[in-house]
Structures are given as C-alpha cells and as structure tokens.
Amino acid sequence: MNLFNLFNRRKNREANTLILQNNNESYWKIVRQQFKKNKIAVYSLRVVFIFIFIALFADFIANEKPLVAKYNGNVYFPVMKEYAVDLGFSDWHDEFRNVSWRGLKYDWVVWPPVPYLPRNIDVSNTWVGPFDDQNVESTRWKHWLGTDDLGHDVLAGMIHGTRIALLVGLVSMGIAAIIGIFFGAVAGYYGDEKLKMSIISILLYVIGFILAVFYAFGTRSYALADAIGSSFGSFMWEFLLSILLFIAIIYIFKLIASLAKKLPFKVKEISIPIDILISRLIEIVVSIPQLFLIISIAAVVAKPSIFIVMVIIGLTTWTGIARFTRAELLRIRNLEFIEAANALGYKEWRIIVKHALPNALSPVLIAIAFGIASAILIESTLSFIGVGVPAETITWGSMLSKARAVSSAWWLAIIPGFAIFITVTIYNLIGEGLTDAMNPKLKK
Amino acid sequence: MLKYIFKRILIFIPTLIVISLLTFVISINAPGDPVETMLNQNVGGEGRSGEKLASEKTYNEKRKELGFDLPLFYFSFTNKTYPDTLYKIPKKAHRETLQRLSYEYGIWKNVSTYYQALRALEFKVFEIMPSDENSSKLRNIKDNLNSLYLTHNENEIKQIIETVEFDIFKDSNIKKTVETDFFELKNSFEHLIYNKKIINRYIPTIHIYGFNNQYHNWISNFIVGEFGISYQDKRPVSSKIFDALKWSMILSILSIIIAYIVAVPLGVKSAVDKGKTSEKIITTGLFLLYSLPNFWIATMLIQYLGDGDGLGWFPTHGLGELPKSAPYWDRFFETAYHFILPLFCLTYASFAFISRQMRGGMLNVLEMDYIRTARAKGLKKQVVIWKHAFRNSLIPIITLFANIFPAAISGSFIIEVIFSIPGMGQLTLQAIFQRDYPIVFTVLMFSSILTLVGILIADIMYAFVDPRISFSNKKS
C-alpha cells in the first residue's frame, strides 16, 4: 500500500509541475484525461447532455399539436409553425385558431411521442396512475406516467419541467459567476495594497459610481418596472440598456480621472484595501439566510416569475465563486508570468482577464457544478411550497407538491422527486469528478 | 480570546445594518397597504361624506399609531421630480400613483394641485344625497373618481375625466353642486400635462429628513425587542415568534447533535476501512443521501410510513394533541414520537455531508508521517486512530458547524411546513400567504442573527480545538 502511495505521489508531483508550466492547452488536456478516468462523472455528463436534448426539443417530444399533418389537402408543420408565430413572423390560419387539435379530421397525421402539453387538462382522467385503467381512445393517448388532480399529463410535465430545471441552473449560476469572478478577481489580484489611486481619482470614481447608479437605475426605475410587467425579453433589453448606460458613465469619469492625472501638481496616492472591503461584503452576503431571503423577496414581488427566482438565487450564491477566484488569484499574482506581463507594461485589466483568470478558472468550474445542483434544489423547494413560482408554471417541485394532497398518488411522489434527485446527483458527481481531475493532488 | 470575540461582535454591526436595510427595502416594497390590512376594510367607495370622513379619520389615526406617517429614511437621494412631502399623503396606492405622475410630468406642485382638486371634487360628490334617479350615476362617478387615484396613464385619465364629465352633465342636480370643482380638476390636469418638465428627472436631489423616520423607529424598536403587531390576530410578533422559535430550535439543535454523533464514527470508519467493499457501499450511500432532496423524502415517508394511507407507523401531523393537564412524561413521549420523522428528514443530509468531510479529513491525517511513526513504534491500531488521527481530523468538521447551523435553520423551514410543526417555518409561510409582513421581516432578521451566531460559535470552537490558532495574539 505504501509503495502504491509513493508511486501515486510521484505521479501527482509530475502532474503538478505540468500545471505550473502554465501551458493552458496541456493543462486542460490533463484535466480532460483525468476527468475521463472517472467513469461515473463521464456518465453523469452524458446524462446532462440527454437532459439538454430533452429541454431543447421538449416542444417536439411533448406537444398537443401534431408534428406533421395533412389537413384539407395541405401539409402543415404545426409545432414548427408555433415557433414562427411566437416570434411574430407568421400567423395561424383561421381554421387553426382556437381549435382542439385532437378533434380535427386529418388526412394523415404524425403526433409527437407524448401528445400532451403540461397545461392540457384531461377531465376524464384525473388522478389516474400509470397502471390504472385510463379513459382514453387508444394506447396512443395513454398517460404513461399518470395524471394529477386536474388531469395534467405527468410525462409532459416532466419533459417540459426539464427545461425549467436546466434553465434555473444556467441562469442563476451565470449571474453568480459574473459577479463572483469579478469580485474575486479584483480582491485577489489587487489585494490590500496593489490598487493605488490619487485622492482625486477616488473622489471622481465615487461620484461617478453614484451618478451611474442614479442615471442607469434610479431614473430608469419605472422603465425597468414596466418592462418586468410586460415580458422577460423586454426586461432584459431595458436592463441591458441600463447596464450600458452605467458603464458609459463610469467610463466618462475614468477619462476625467486620467485627465486629472496630468495636472501639474502631484497628488498623494493612497492604496485602497479592496481585498478587505470585498471580503467583508462576502461575509455579509454569506450570513444572510438565503432561503428566507428568497422566500421574503418572492413573497413581495407583485407578479411572481421563475426568472425572478433565478436572479435572486444568482445574487445570493456568488460568494463561493468569489472566494475560490480570490484564493487562486492571490496565488497566481505572485507567479513569474504575471511579473513578466507587468514588466512588459500590459494594462492591468488585460493581465487579469487574459493571463491571470484563465489559470484560476478550475476551482470556479467546480463551484459552478456544485452551485447548479444547489440552485436546482432551491428552485424545486420553492415550487414545492408554492412560493415565488407562479401557480400556472409546472415544475418538478410543483408536481411533487401535489402528491401531498392525495397520498395514494404514488406516481406523483416518486417520479418528479426522482428527477430532482437524479439531476442534483449528477451535477454533484460532475463537481466531484472535476475536483478530482483538476487537483490530482487531492485524488486519493 | 475575549478580545477576538469582541472584535467579531463588532463586525456583526455592519452586517446587521445591511441586513436590516435589505429587510426594510423589501418591506416597503411589499404589495398591499398595511394600514388597510390592519383595519380590515377598504376606506372610501360607498357611503355618505360624513361616513367617508369618519373612516378616513380612523385610517389616519391608525396610520399615525403605526408610524407610517413619517418619512421612510434619514435622507432620500432621488431625482428632482420626487415629491419630498409625499409621505404626508395617507394612502399607499395614492402615493404610488402621485409619485409616478410626478415622474412623468416633472413638477410635483402641479401634481399636488391635481390631487387636491380630485379630493375636493370627491368630497363634493359624497355630499350629494343619493336619490332613486341619480344613485346609479353617482356610483359611477364615485367609482371613476376612485380609479383616478390609481391611474397614471395620460390617455386613461383623459378618458375617465370625459366619462365623469358625461355623467355629471346628464344630471342637473349633480351638475349644480360639483361643476366648479370638476372644472378645477380638469384644468389642473391640463395644466399638469401642458407644463411638462422632463429635465427634472435627470437632476439628482438630496432631501434630509432627520431621525424621526420609519426606519429609525423600526430598528430602534427592534433593538429593544419590540417587533410590532401581527396584522392577522393583533398579537405581538415577539410572542408569536418565540412560541415558534422554541420548536425550530429544538428541531435544529437535536438534528445537529444527532448528525454529529452518527456522522463522526461513520466517517472515521469509512476512512480506516478504505478500499473494502463495505466502505465503498457506505461512501456511495452517503453520497446518495447527501443529494436526496429532503422534501421528497419527507413526502415519501408520509406516504408510506405515515398514518394516512401508509403503514401507519408514525404520526405525520403536528406535535400531538394531549392536553396540558396530561402527565409531563406522557406529553414528552407523544411529542418525541411526533418528532421522529421530521428529525430524520432534517438530519440525514447533514450527517451524510459531515461524514463525507470527516472521511476526507481522516484520510488526509492518516497519510501523515506521524501516524506511520505511531504505528511503527507498536501502538495499537485503535489507539493510533482515536488518539492520534481522530483529534487532528476534527478541525475541518468543527468549522463545518458554521455551515450546518444555518442549513439546519432553513432546512427545518421546509420540514416544519411538510409535517405541520408549529415552528418558524410554518409561521413564516402562513405570514407570507396572509401578507403579515411584520412577522416575515422579524423572522428574516432573526434568522440572520442566528446565522451570525452560528458562524461565531464555529470560529470560537475552531480556536479551542486547534491550539495553533490563537486569535488574541494575531494582529490583523
């Protein structure tokens, strides 16, 4: 056993020296090789790909409309057409407006594998289980995973719920990654003494920041609020405008500050303890009880939306990513290649973004993998208790909560719960696999 | 050590201020008018002018009693359109409309004139005695005027004013009484829209309000332990919360203790037995347990072991209903029996997590040279594991406490809701659905404080376990 350990340790040392050579390509190659050795993690990744496939093609797998149909001598593609209509490129023919798609007399028709949408109500089949006798025309219309109290098809809900589960992980961790990497990088790279500014610049930046907040978000608050009310897309657009305005104002003040540097007299430069400030901010965010905060915010939002939940999760979970990034950058900033870049006179932002950050990404990836798992868990918890997620949105959590009403509905208890469990598990497994692959030293 | 604790508590203060500000911002943005919720009535609408005056008076008195007639904060930093005396307008819904109008047209004075004209007209309308022929018209006018209070859209307002005009001029009696006031309203609105000053939106302004404001009063009451009154049953929030906190704390603390008791030996065993089949099964099992959503397990347990349609082994609802007169031990066992399932659901995830960490820490320590030395000098395996390795691998486990404690609090939230245990979770959820915000925000503050305390305890324990860490001598 000891011999094996010794051998292992030598291998690890080799791997470590390889990493330190800072050859990105070979580093990621090692990571990939190490990751591939972990069979379970590889299979988990494949399951994620299957989920992504289901989420992308949910409309084609489970839909009330036919995929292809010949009706009155013309061939139609109603599912495809729906995308065009939703995007505003096209409009439904009069004969298809407000029709029950199942009731039409087609010449021939190809239905999706699951001929239901999650919101379709089947009055003659409420609370039927997968093995119960169902009141359907043929096996084609069978509810393979049963229905709930209103006759919603569980399988269709599961398929479309995949979309929400994956989206929650993606959006919330995307937000968390942007905030976390930014704060972590600034805190880690500059530390407490590296960021030096003259008092005039500091003042200008503070004023610039306040004005940027004022113009980008203060005066635009009604535009933003109205956009939330209308649709998510328009909100994102308005929000993007605000962000651009914010950056523009900060940039103007940056220009003024650089002009102020050229003043004839010398202003004393002081170092800003940016690391302490950001660490304190992280400490504050960490000590806010996340679930209670999300529940309180979700409770007071006038119009509940799954996207608000995602944003709040993102805004409260960036601390882990920030901590990892900070720790990595504290290490990296003292390495030779950063010194070299400094000596070459590169701008500091360029050094951080192009040289330091790519080498600090591995722990961030791990944190993101685990973060996605916990984000999915939080979202399903919220929809389970029915807070923050609109009642008409069908998610895995909201389906599971229906099992509480009727305890004989075992399929509603087992199937959505199992889906949540599997999703959380595979993300955790991927996180484990990444940890092993990126820190061969820790691999035991 | 004391110095360190003191310093930590000093750091609490900014954290708590930030959390309280956050809570406050959420609370003022909460939908619904708290005064109306308290009074359980909708002021205005039907009735004569005398009744309307009386109900507005009670509304204003209640508002004053609750302290909602004060400015929100010590200062405000807004654009020039923001009305600095807005807080004097009684109704929340009206304030929102007026603020929006002021933003749209830029001059608060004109909006204020428009509002006064609207109120004057409304009072005149309420003074008219309803008779058989004009009662439906009067009601129309009242409804329309009421909706004017809530509309900021220019076209909508114009349309409503036109409708009101139509109704007023059809009845000569009504026309005679309210004509002048109506034209005043119409003129003031036209004056408002024709004197737009949008530039005001882009001029930042600061107003100072001083210490007599809502936030100051709320936070100073909070510090002395007055958390307000529940909107629903008018009981003090503090008594409601302490009743609930009792059960939540019992659940969380029991769960943490059990989790540590089970997890530590399990973690040590799986580290020592590394490579054996039994260890592999335990490790995989722990990993799966860790990923199992506890609300799912709770639902399943209720379904299959609960007393509804399941096997009927365990009660699944509340804490038992024995009267207070029943013998103490009977009540104790009844409650304990009700605790089994919730406690299990609350505990398994954290014990899986702790034992995985314990295993990792133990594996690290077992590789150290001094362990090999201890074995080499002939110490028994058990002695080496428990005396040399175990104590050193405890350090990461203790720091975990800082994570476990908040997790237990929020974890018990869901479990309490599912098992209908009258703890903080159920209290909060009910408060949210009934829009009983004083409870929601007190709970938010309390759970933040508990989280901070958990982190502090973890830090102190850390220092006790690891003598290499000394807080008092370190200068940072």
**Of A284, A296, A370, nearest in space to B451 by CA:** A284
The one-letter code for the residue type at B213 is N
Supply φ then ψ for residue B303, to 5 degrees.
-70, -40
Task: Write the single-letter amino acid at A279.
Answer: S
Provide the chain A residues 271-290 that lie in CB contact (below 8 A) with chain B.
280, 283-284, 286-290
H or E element at residue A171: helix A154-190
Contact A218 B299 (CB under 8 A): no
Q: Which residue does chain B place closest to A415, by CA atoms?
A: B296
* Tokens representing residue B384 in the block: 């080496």
Contact B295 A381 (CB under 8 A): yes
- Cα separation, A258 vs A201, whole angstroms: 8
Q: Is A413 helix (H, G, I), strand (E, B) or coil?
A: helix
* Binary contact (B444, A293; C-beta < 8 A): yes
- Output the 3-class SS for chain B: CHHHHHHHHHHHHHHHHHHHHHHHHHHHCCCCCHHHHHHCCCCCCCCCHHHHHHHHHHHHHHHHHHCCCCCCCCEEEEECCCCCCHHHCCCHHHHHHHHHHHHHHCCHHHHHHHHHHHHHHHHHHHHCCCCCCCHHHHHHHHHHHHHHCCCCCHHHHHHHHHHHHHHHHHCHHHHHHHHHHHHHHHHHHHHHHHCCCHHHHHCEEEEECCCCCHHHHHHHHHHCCCCCECCCCCCEHHHHHHHHHHHHHHHHHHHHHHHHHHHHHHHHHHHHCCCCHHHHHHHHHHHHHHHCCHHHHHHHHHHHHECCCCCCCECCCCCCCCCCCCCHHHHHHHHHHHHHHHHHHHHHHHHHHHHHHHHHHHHHHHCCHHHHHHHHCCCCHHHHHHHHHHHHHHHHHHHHHHHHHHHHHHHHHHHHHHHCCCCHHHHHHHHHHCCCHHHHHHHHHHHHHHHHHHHHHHHHHHHHHCCCCCCCCCCC
**Chain B interface includes A315 (CB < 8 A):** no
Query: B-chain residues within 8 Å CB-CB of A418?
Result: 296
Residues of B with CB below 8 A from A421's CB?
291-293, 296
Within 8 A by CB and 6+ apart from B114, the residues are B101, B185, B188, B189, B191, B192
CA atoms within 13 A on the CB side of A423: 33
B292 to A377: CB separation less than 8 angstroms, yes or no: no
Count CB atoms within 10 A of the CB of residue B66.
17
Out of B290, B292, B410, the one facing A289 most closely (by C-beta) is B410
Crossing angle for the helix pair A318-332 and A274-286, to the nearest 10 degrees = 150
Instruction: Please give the pLDDT value at position A3.
Output: 43
DSSP state of A334: T
Contacts of A12 (CB under 8 A, 6+ apart): A440, A441, A443
Alpha-helical regions (H) of A38-153: 39-56, 58-61, 78-87
B299 and A403: CB-CB below 8 Å? yes
Q: For residue B311, what are its two tokens?
A: 């096997």
Alpha-carbon distances of B7 from A283, A304, B104, B131, B472, rounded to whole Å: 14, 41, 49, 74, 10
CA dihedral angle for residue B449, residue B452, residue B454, residue B457, rounded to 10 degrees: -120
**Measured at the alpha carbon of residue B455, what is the angle toward residues B451 and B458, in degrees to the nearest 5?**
135
Q: CB distance from A3 to chain B under 8 Å?
A: no
Interchain CB distance below 8 Å, B291 and A425: yes
- Using a CB-CB distance cutoff of 8 angstroms, which residues of chain A are in contact with residue B409? 289
Burial class (CB in 10 A: 0-12, 13-18, 19+), B84: middle
Long-range contacts formed by A234-242: CB under 8 A, 24+ apart: A242/A216, A242/A217
> Rounded to the nearest 10 degrees, what angle do helices A221-230 and A232-261 cross at?
150
Residue B475 is predicted with a pLDDT of 40
CA separation (Å) from A95 to A75, A89, B349?
A: 14, 18, 55
How close B315 comes to chain A (CA, Å)? 14
The DSSP bridge partners found for residue A269 are: A198
Residue A58 to chain B, least CA–CA distance (Å): 25
Q: Is A40 on the interface with B (CB under 8 A)?
A: no
| Pairwise CA distance, residues B427 & B417, whole Å | 9
Q: How far is B387 from chain A (nearest CA, A)?
A: 22
Spatial separation of the C-alpha atoms in residues A45 and A437, rounded to whole Å: 14
Under an 8 A CB cutoff, do B447 and A292 touch? yes
Residue A377's closest chain B neighbor by CA? B293
A-chain residues near B450 (CB < 8 A): 289
Do residue A288 and residue B448 have CB atoms under 8 angstroms apart?
Answer: yes
Chain A closest CA to B222's CA: distance in Å? 18
Contact B428 A214 (CB under 8 A): no
Sign, Cα dihedral of B146, B147, B151, B154? negative
Question: What are the beta bridge partners of residue A198?
Answer: A269
Which of B100, B296, B303, B429 is best to mutate for the A interface (most A CBs within 10 A)? B296
Interface test with B, best of A5, A168, A287, A319 (most B CBs within 10 A): A287
Site from B410, B416, B437 to mutate, A interface, most A CB atoms within 10 angstroms: B410
Q: How far apart are CA B311 and CA A197, in angstroms?
A: 71
Please give the structure tokens belonging to residue A285. Answer: 């965010």
- Please check whether residue B396 touches A, CB under 8 A: no
Residues in chain A closer than 8 A to B367 (CB atoms): 5
Whether residue A16 contacts residue A440, with contact meaning beta carbons closer than 8 Å, is answered with yes
Q: How far apart are the first and last CA of chain B?
A: 14
Which H or E element spans position A133? none
Q: Name residues 105-164 of chain B within 8 A of A (Cβ).
A: none
Nearest CA in chain A to B441: A296
Whole-model pTM above 0.90?
no
One-letter amino acid of A267: V
Q: Which residue matches tokens 């882990």?
A: A320
Half-sphere exposure of B4 (CA within 13 A, CB side): 17
> Which among B79, B448, B451 has CB closest to A219?
B79
- Residue A263 tokens read as 């003043």
Tell me how many residue pairs between chain A and chain B have CB atoms under 8 A apart. Answer: 134
The complex's ipTM works out to 0.80
**Closest CB from A280, A297, A417 relative to B293:** A417
B417 at A interface, C-beta within 8 A: yes
Closest-CA residue in chain A for B12? A284
Contact A116, A142 (CB under 8 A): no
Structure tokens at B87: 């807080």
The residues with which B206 forms a beta bridge, in sequence order, are B77
DSSP H or E run through A74? strand A74-76
Residue A276: partners with Cβ closer than 8 Å, 6 or more residues away: A192
Token pair belonging to B108 = 């608060």
Classify residue A273 by its DSSP letter: -
CA distance A407 to B328: 33
Cβ-defined contact of A289 to B78 (cutoff 8 Å): no
Note whether B362 and B389 are within 8 A (CB). yes
DSSP H or E segment with residue A400? helix A396-402
The Cα B338–Cα B218 span in angstroms is: 38
CB contact under 8 A, B15 and A421: no
Whether A283 sits inside 8 A of B78 (CB atoms) is: no
Contacts of B49 (CB under 8 A, 6+ apart): B123, B126, B127
- φ and ψ at B3, to 5 degrees? -65, -40
The answer to whether the beta carbons of residues B237 and B228 sit under 8 Å apart is yes
Helix (H) or strand (E) holding A111: none
In the predicted model, residues of chain A with pLDDT beneath 50 are 1-7, 15, 18-19, 21, 442-444
Report yes or no: A203 at the B interface, CB cutoff 8 Å: no
Q: Do B413 and A292 touch (CB under 8 A)?
A: yes
Q: Between B15, B290, B309, which is nearest A284 by CB?
A: B15
CA distance A162 to chain B (A): 17
Specify the pLDDT at position A209: 92
Query: Where would I find the beta strands (DSSP E) of A139-228?
Result: 196-198
Provide, as residue numbers in chain A, all residues whose Cβ is less than 8 Å from the Cβ of B443. 292
Please check whether residue A425 touches B, CB under 8 A: yes
Other CB atoms within 10 A of residue A252 CB: 14
- Closest-approach residue (CA) in chain A for B31: A300
Cβ of A12 under 8 Å from any chain B Cβ? no
Interface with chain A: mutation pick from B299, B441, B447, highest number of A CBs within 10 Å: B299
Regions of chain B with pLDDT less than 50? 42-45, 472-476
What part of B 200-239 touches A (C-beta under 8 Å)?
201-202, 204
Q: Report A:293-312 residues touching B (Cβ under 8 A).
A: 293, 295-297, 299-300, 302
CB contact residues (below 8 A), chain B span 55-114, against chain A? 77-79, 100, 103
Cα separation of B244 and B250, whole Å? Answer: 10
